[in-house]
Amino acid sequence: MTRTHSPVTQVVAIGIGAALFFVLGRFVAIPTPIPNTSINIQYAILAVFAVLYGPLVAALAGLIGHVLIDATGYGIWISWELASGVFGLVVGLLLLRNAIAEGEFGRAFAARFTLAVVLANAVAWLLIAPAGDVLFYSEPANKVWVQGALAFVTNTVTAAVLGLLVLSVYARTRTRTGSLSHEQ
């Protein structure tokens, strides 16, 4: 079951998610040999926010966080910023119904989460980002598809592994539905 959050909670979650995305993306990115492409762990946190707060929060946190990273670094690059928002949106939509907040974390959820991360990364980094680079910026197709492929692989691995770890720990901190009994 999915909890609904108040608008205030959602706005706060967007702000915290964007801030975490920015800090991790700006200061914890691991460079790769492919220009302007790095190994990023912020997508794990974005996937966690997608599970806990839903697709809208995750989409806006990813978009805003990525805009902040680019504005303080390379400059605005809308195709990749949109891809971050799409990643959060897709993971959130695919995992709308979950019981993490009730302490439920099992193999079925882990498989759904991993599949959602793979699909979201495929849409974001194998479709949105490279196509946007070619259409908006007239970038060489071979260059942007290599960047997108690397982003797909690295973001999928980091988001799946770290996201599952964070969600597993989070679920253990929650009281499972029906786990408390009334003593007579």
Nearest to 120 by CA among 87, 149, 157: 87
The correct CATH number of 7-173 out of 3.30.390.10, 3.50.50.60, 1.10.1760.20, 1.10.300.10 is 1.10.1760.20
Q: Is the pLDDT of residue 160 over 60?
A: yes
CA angle 23, 102, 4 (to 5 degrees): 70
Please tell me what DSSP assigns to residue 31.
E
- Residue pLDDT, tens place only, 36-91: 889 999 999 999 999 999 999 999 999 999 999 999 998 999 999 999 999 999 99
pLDDT tens for 81-130 read 999 999 999 999 999 989 898 889 999 999 999 999 999 999 999 999 99
Q: How far apart are CA 12 and CA 7, in angstroms?
A: 9
Residue type, 176: R
